[in-house]
Amino acid sequence: MTFLPVILWSDVLIWLLVLAAIVLGVLSSRNPPLRAAWQRVGRSRPGMAAATVLMAFVLVGLLDSLHYRPRLESREAGQPVAYSVEVLSLLDAMVTPLRTRSEKTYSQPLATRAYTKEAFDVRDADGSLRQVRDFPRLKFGGAHLGDDEARRDDDIVKRVLAAEALACAILAGIALGGSYLLARRHACSARQIWSALWRGELSVAWHAVLATLGLLLLLLMPLAVLSVDYHVFGTDKVGQDVLYQILKSVRTALVIGLVTTLVMLPLSILLGILAGYFRGWVDDLIQYLYTTLSSIPGVLLIAAAVLMMQVIIDTHPQWFATAAERADLRLLALCFILGVTSWTGLCRLLRGETLKLRELEYIQAAQAFGVSDLRIILRHILPNLMHIVIIALVMDFSSLVLAEAVLSYVGIGVDPTMISFGTMINNARMEMAREPMVWWSLAAAFVFMFTLVLAANLLADAVRDAFDPRLAGSS
Amino acid sequence: MSQDSQSILSVRGLRMGFASGYAHTRQVLAAVDGIDFAVHAGETLALLGESGCGKSATALSLLRLLPAAGRILGGEVCFDGRDLLQLPESEMRTVRGGGMAMIFQEPATSLNPVMTVGRQIGEVLERHLDLTGAATRQRALELLDAVGIADAQRRLDEFPFQLSGGMKQRVMIAVALAGHPKLLIADEPTTALDVTIQAQILDLLRRLQAERGMGMLLITHDLGVVAQMAHRVGVMYAGEIVEEAPRNAFFASPRHPYSQKLFAALPDLARRGGRLETIAGQVPSLAAMPTGCRFAERCPHAWERCRDESPGWHEAGESHRVRCHLMAEPGRAVAPVPRPVTLVIPLVDPRPALLAVRDLAVHFPIRRGVLQLTVGQVRAVDGVSLDLVRGRTLALVGESGCGKTTVGKAILQLVKPTAGRIELEERELNGLSRAELRPLRRRMQMIFQDPFASLNPRLSVGEIIGEGMSALGVNTQSAGRNDAVVALLQEVGLDPAAAGRYPHEFSGGQRQRIAIARALAVQPELIICDEPTSALDVSVQAQILNLLKALQDDLGLAYLFITHNFAVVDYLAHEVAVMYLGRIVERGLVDEVLRSPRHPYTQALLSAVPSPRLDAQPECIRLAGEMPSPANPPAGCHFHPRCPQASALCRASYPETSRLTATHAVRCHLFGSAEQNK
Amino acid sequence: MLAYLLRRSLYAIPILIGVNLITFALFFVVNSPDDMARMQLGVKRVTPEAIAKWKVERGYDKPLFFNAQAEGVGVLTDTILFAKSARMFVGDFGRAEDGRDIAREITTRMGPSLAIALPTFILGLYVTVSFALLLTFFRGSYLDIWGVVLCVALMSISGLFYIIGGQFLISKLWRLVPISGYSGGLDAWKFLILPVLIGVISGIGSSARWYRTIFLEEIGRDYVRTARAKGLSEVAVLFRHVLRNAMIPILTGVVVVIPLLFMGSLLTESFFGIPGLGSYTIDAINAQDFAVVRAMVFIGSVLYIAGLMLTDISYTFVDPRIRFE
């Protein structure tokens, strides 16, 4: 084999989540009330636009969640196969140039020369060496131009135009293919479907999806085309491409936002239902537990827990084969700590709702049949709490992504070697004070993080409106 | 309509609707479609109709207080010589509360919970009468006196949660009266109240209207309230007024088939043993209004013309108008099929009781203070005994809070009884473990009040009905169970295809049928019916009562029927027990208790029920005050503070049971001395 | 009402004990003091003697729960549980790594923290409630729709960007106020104005949207319809009826944080170089000063519990149902 698959713990959890999403999808499609709620989400234009953007992020995150160690080129035959200690992902392989083409230090977006002057020797015509201070030529940025750097602007414009043309072509393909498929499903002509789509008469807001997709393609295609030969977002202090860092940050944000909920969901669902259903001393105990936990300010509890975790990791270096595994475990531990500190809110909510539900007449009817408590909880209570759980899941995602940035800044977030929005901002913060200022890392991190969180918030709103009839009525 | 000069309100062609649907498919569905009426000074016009017919929407349109989705589509509302629909909002505000005031159905939620009573009344006085400071308070005090609130001085500074339901509605009336309105709109003002309190409030409204010469628009679904209160009646159906008449003419001879059906669907003694008239089908939805007569689908007389052409107004007598094609072609009327009435009521049933309850008590602890120690007991049920024979119906009657529902739940062991014995065919239920109880649960089941809360929205109808069977091990094979579900659905009059559908697709009456099927699934012998029809419209109530009756005849079921509605008792029950504050105060055969009630409470309760007939209104015994809290019942006879015949003995001790006949017993000191020894 | 308040305060005691035990477990049971010593000393200097010395210096050389060698009450008091955890109840937090007394440090740093947190809190509450009321008043109009969109956008921006952006724009580009720093006395305002402003703006998004939801929920209630039927203007309905009822849920979220204002804000203080408790905590985290972090966790919980009790008290002011119970 040319590579050795590496299964990181977070990969397992991420793919488990994908599986869970599929199961949830199948379950929802079988249950009419849930299906109706998802259909309401499908009709929401902002919701579907946000979902499209999120899907793009998720795609990047999933590609970045298949890890392997490449085989080292063995110098001599007969030696045992050795694998690199560097753990790469499928995404890394796809964007290899971004990963490997490191400059020496800072360079501006699309630059062909470095950001700071450097002293280097120039051999004059007469053969004597002369020292000059100038902006050195970048090793990779615009390397294809050779010495003809003046051609850069033309080259960029040409490439952008070509990219936009390509984007339009792809978009047209998607639109035609999509409307053909829809037309077949609705058994009418593609032209009818096309006009119905733009009038928003279909049961899913496909026009929002299509418009968002178009916007994404038009914006990202030039980036992709240019990134082949330029550093579109510049490079950072050690010369690493900023676009690459952004792509890597996406997975970190997704893991924090999703795996954390995975940790806290079982805990809060179980305890919330137990407290609300059985009341009495069970309720007292669980209430005491979550009041106590929630009375420790979150950041401080996380800080304390992360400090302790660091001690464990630092005193047990033998547990980790690679740096990636260590960083991964730290990421998971952070998710776990965030989960443990954030389950109380949902638990309280579920307890309250269970208290209300258990007084409802259909629960009493079940009790009159002698249905066991476990069965009542599984059949009657849990399904009627699902909407709260789903709402909490999507609402928490954005706040967790934001929290990661703050925690990493404070120094209690992800491993400093792991690329995330938080570590990017943390590094870039010093650069703001530089003269001249290095702004591109921060700007790129801002734009992408804002897009991710905004999309998550908009989707959360759509989901909440669709699943909570009480709130939907008021607004 | 000829007296337009005297009318204070005249409405012409009013149309309003609700916006529905999403962005591009958005449309406004008319809920009120071109109605005309007028209200004169000193006159009460009752708008009568079932839920969803647009009567509340009409009332809110008059004040332009529609909810966010509501739209007024056209027409005019002339009040005080001005068209309210054309007024700017600022002038409309002087009309609201000033010229025209409104009281609502739910006194509990219609008052601001964090404002004192005095402030809530004072607000109107300041707004419309420009009163300030002490004058406001003085005037508010007078108003509270006027609506019959004792100790008004103290009540002014209290908050709504400190008042009982009846008092809250009195405060609402005081708020409405504060601006000296010429027209009072009362939207189901007594629907949320108990019957004795309803009588008080209706009296108050009648008195105030007479004193002040106000016009009143009374919105109600209750023919009994109409009979007591109205001068004229307008019957609404599906957004239209279909009949308008003076009260006497209306009650003497309702002319529209819908009005006639409403009367026929009322349960009472005359229809005992037979089946109640029902109105087939349902009110058409706003989205699918028929082009012709809106009642045609459900009308027994309907012919093609009714389906094609919306009928116009026809005069049917002195200011009596009807919108029905029958008035033009009376020959089309179909003669009603006379229904056989069998009056077979066995006097005493010699068989042993299926259910015997002895001295049942359910107490809930009250915890107070720093350490949450139990400082007292809410005696929700306090020594109830009753017997029920197979195939018979025992009605447990009482006002809300008397403990009747708790009795039902305690029998089913859904609430743990504090004391007493519950025997199902001589098998003691109290103290049994869950496993021991399970085989007995097959024999008794319950039907609940709220058809919307009693079905799990996430389960299909088939799963709901099958739940009991799987829990109790009936029909364990799935094929057999599916057949059983189909059979049950047919038995309660639903399409077998309903099994695959979900509760939200069904109307209230259909849901109640599903709930009945669920209870029947385990072939019980006893069904406890907890107000199964109180959330339903009259016509649907009749369907459910018919179904219950037929099931009893076919399957020999015994019903413990918990209700506050005497008309239903009269129709369905064999025996009655009247509860007051956790105890049964009188019990006996239906005829004994309803025809010759002996306990003063039963007498007052019966007389307070507004009768839907004009001739039969008995002298009403008005009870003072409201039922005390079961946490702190009065010493002696619980009823003595409200009893018109209370004596010193009543204040001292709770009366023992006195047997008047073999079947009729009462707990009252009036009968104690003479007939103590049976 | 007194019984209610008393009961709530009694309830705080087991919670405080629970918090104390949790911090103890986190700091001394999850990792042994030996582990901490190894971590602090670094790989090169780890020797058994160095570890022992490190532990003695900080008083971590005692047993965790029971000291079998001690006499009398010493069995319980001469332990880490008592010395490091239980003594926090009386305000004895021990010494930081630099040898300073933590309790004294906290009292001197409270002032600057409060100087930023309090104005931010009051101004922020005023601005967000007014904004939410504005949106509620114009509900359903374009102002409302775009206002909500603005809220969602504002809450999608990380707090870090607010600070970095604010510092860049106002201090670096426009040079209106110093970029960071602090001084006691009256001229502190020029150091405070920017952090307060940023604190207010960064809080608008989520709070205003939440308050708007609460207001809208109240506006749908029956008593509001009654108030309108009285002929009251929309403004009177909003301020006299809706606002007073909405105060009950709003207070739940707001009053509880008042005592926590003493703790300051981690981010703001560290970015602006304010010598408050927030930057103290951050410095301690970065220096892995366990004693300080432990003390801050405990103080934070005490303040939170105080906040819970304040909330209970504030309920009695706005909700007559509790006042008269």
Give the chain C residue whose CA is nearest to the CA of A430.
C164
Give the distance between the most distant pair of CA atoms in chain C. Answer: 84
| Beta strand extents in chain C (DSSP E only) | none
The minimum CA-CA distance between B211 and chain C, rounded to whole Å, is: 22
Rounded to whole angstroms, how far apart are CA atoms C160 and A422? 9
CB contact under 8 A, B454 and A365: yes
CA atoms within 13 Å, Cβ hemisphere of A108? 9
What stretches in chain A show pLDDT beneath 50? 471-475
Q: What residues in C contact A429, CB-CB < 8 Å?
A: 160, 164
Q: Is the pLDDT of residue B25 over 70?
A: no
A368 touches chain B (CB under 8 A): yes
- Residue B602's pLDDT band, with cuts at 50, 70 and 90, is very high
> Which stretches of chain B sit within 8 Å of chain C by CB?
63, 65, 68, 90, 93-98, 101-102, 104, 106, 109-115, 123-124, 127-128, 159, 161-162, 172, 175, 179, 368-372
- Euclidean distance between CA atoms B219 and B109, whole angstroms: 19
Specify the pLDDT at position C214: 92
**Cβ <8 Å between A33 and B458:** yes
Q: Name the interface residues of B facing A (CB cutoff 8 Å).
A: 22-25, 409, 412, 414, 434, 437-438, 441, 444-446, 448-450, 453-459, 464, 467-468, 471-472, 502, 504, 515, 518-519, 522
Indicate the length of chain C as a whole number. 325
Output the pLDDT for position A74. Answer: 65
Domains defined along chain A, listed by start: 3-66+236-467 (1.10.3720.10), 149-227 (no CATH)
Task: Please determine, for residue B576, whether its predicted confidence score (pLDDT) is greater than 90.
Answer: yes
Task: Verify whether the Cβ–Cβ distance A370 to B23 is below 8 Å.
Answer: no
Contact B406, B417 (CB under 8 A): no
Instruction: Say whether A4 sits in a helix, a strand or coil.
Output: strand
pLDDT at B411: 93
pLDDT in tens, B354-373: 899 999 999 988 877 666 77
Q: How far apart are CA B355 and CA C315, in angstroms?
A: 49
Give phi and psi for A414, each to the nearest 5: -75, 170
Q: How confident is the model over B545-556, as pLDDT tens digits?
A: 989 988 998 888
- Mean pLDDT of the region B174-192: 93
For A28, the closest chain B residue by CA position comes to B458
State mean pLDDT over C77-102: 79
Based on DSSP, count helices (H) and strands (E) in chain B, helices before strands. 23, 24
Burial of A256 (0-12, 13-18, 19+ CB in 10 A): buried
CA pair distance C122, C138, nearest whole angstrom: 25
C157 band by pLDDT with thresholds 50, 70 and 90: very high
pLDDT given at position C97: 78
- Cβ contact B585:B667 at 8 Å: yes
Pair of tokens at residue A277: 């259903």
Question: Quick check: A425 and C164 CB within 8 A?
Answer: yes
B555, B524 Cβ separation under 8 angstroms: no
Cβ atoms A215, A164 nearer than 8 A = no
Closest-CA distance, A438 to chain C, in angstroms, reads: 12
Query: Residue B559 in contact with residue B529, Cβ under 8 Å?
Result: yes
Which pLDDT belongs to residue A474?
35
Facing residue for B454 by CB, picked from A45, A361, A383: A361
A383 touches chain B (CB under 8 A): yes
pLDDT classification of B347: cutoffs 50, 70, 90: very low
Confidence of residue B1 (pLDDT cuts 50, 70, 90): very low
Residue B215 has pLDDT above 60, yes or no: yes
Residue B137 one-letter amino acid: R
Residue B241 bridge partners (DSSP) = B236
Q: Would you list the DSSP string of B492-546?
A: TT--GGGGGS-GGGS-HHHHHHHHHHHHHTT--SEEEEESTTTTS-HHHHHHHHH
Q: Which of B470, B418, B34 is nearest to B236 (CA)?
A: B34
Question: Is residue A399 exposed (0-12), middle (13-18) or buried (19+ Cβ within 10 Å)?
Answer: middle
Structure tokens of A158? 């040409």
Sheet holding B355-368, edge to edge: B373-388, B355-368, B419-424, B427-428
Give the neighbours of chain A: at least 3 Cβ pairs within 8 Å.
Answer: B, C
Residues from chain B that touch C221, judged by Cβ atoms under 8 A, are 109
Find how far residue C38's CA is from the centre of its chain.
32
| Subunit contact C222:B369, Cβ cutoff 8 A | no
- Residue A196 forms contact with B (CB below 8 Å): no
CA distance B547 to B530: 16
Q: ipTM of this model?
A: 0.88
Compute the distance between CA of residue A69 and CA of residue A47 in angstroms, rounded to an integer: 39
DSSP state of B339: P
Contacts of B94 in chain C (CB under 8 A): 231
- How far is Cα B605 from Cα B592, in angstroms, rounded to an integer? 15
Domains and CATH numbers, chain B: 7-99+179-281+289-332 (3.40.50.300), 355-443+524-677 (3.40.50.300)
Write the burial class of residue B411 (CB in 10 Å: 0-12 exposed, 13-18 middle, 19+ buried).
buried
| CA nearest to A423 within chain C | C160
- Phi first, then psi: give them for residue B241, nearest 5 degrees: -90, 125
Q: Whole-angstrom Cα distance, residue A265 to residue B77? A: 56
CA of B468 vs chain A CAs: smallest distance (Å): 5
Q: Which residue has the tokens 């804002």?
A: A450
B468 vs A199, A369, A375: nearest CB: A369
β-sheet bridge partners, residue B100: B96, B183
Report how many Cβ contacts below 8 Å link chain B to chain C: 84
pLDDT digits (tens, 9 = 90+) for C271-291: 888 899 999 998 888 888 888
Question: Which two structure tokens, joined as six digits, stand for A179?
Answer: 């409307």
Residues of B whose CB is below 8 A from C240: 115, 123
CA angle C287, C290, C296 (to 5 degrees): 100
Q: Which two tokens stand for residue B505?
A: 């697709």
- CA nearest C240 in B: which residue? B115
- A453 CB neighbours in chain C (<8 A) are 156-158
Query: What is the distance of C-alpha A319 from the center of its chain?
Result: 27
Q: How many helices (H) and strands (E) does chain A have?
A: 18, 5
- Is A370 close to B459, i.e. CB distance below 8 A? no
Is the pLDDT score of B677 beyond 50?
Answer: no
Give the pLDDT confidence of C114-124 residue by residue, as tens digits.
989 999 999 99
Q: How confident is the model at residue B269 (pLDDT cuts 50, 70, 90)?
A: low
Single out the residue of B156, B238, B184 nearest to residue B45, CA to CA. B184
Cβ within 8 Å of residue A132, ≥6 positions away:
A119, A120, A121, A122
**Which positions in chain B touch C245 (Cβ < 8 Å)?**
112-114
Contact partners for chain B, using 3 or more CB pairs closer than 8 A, are A, C
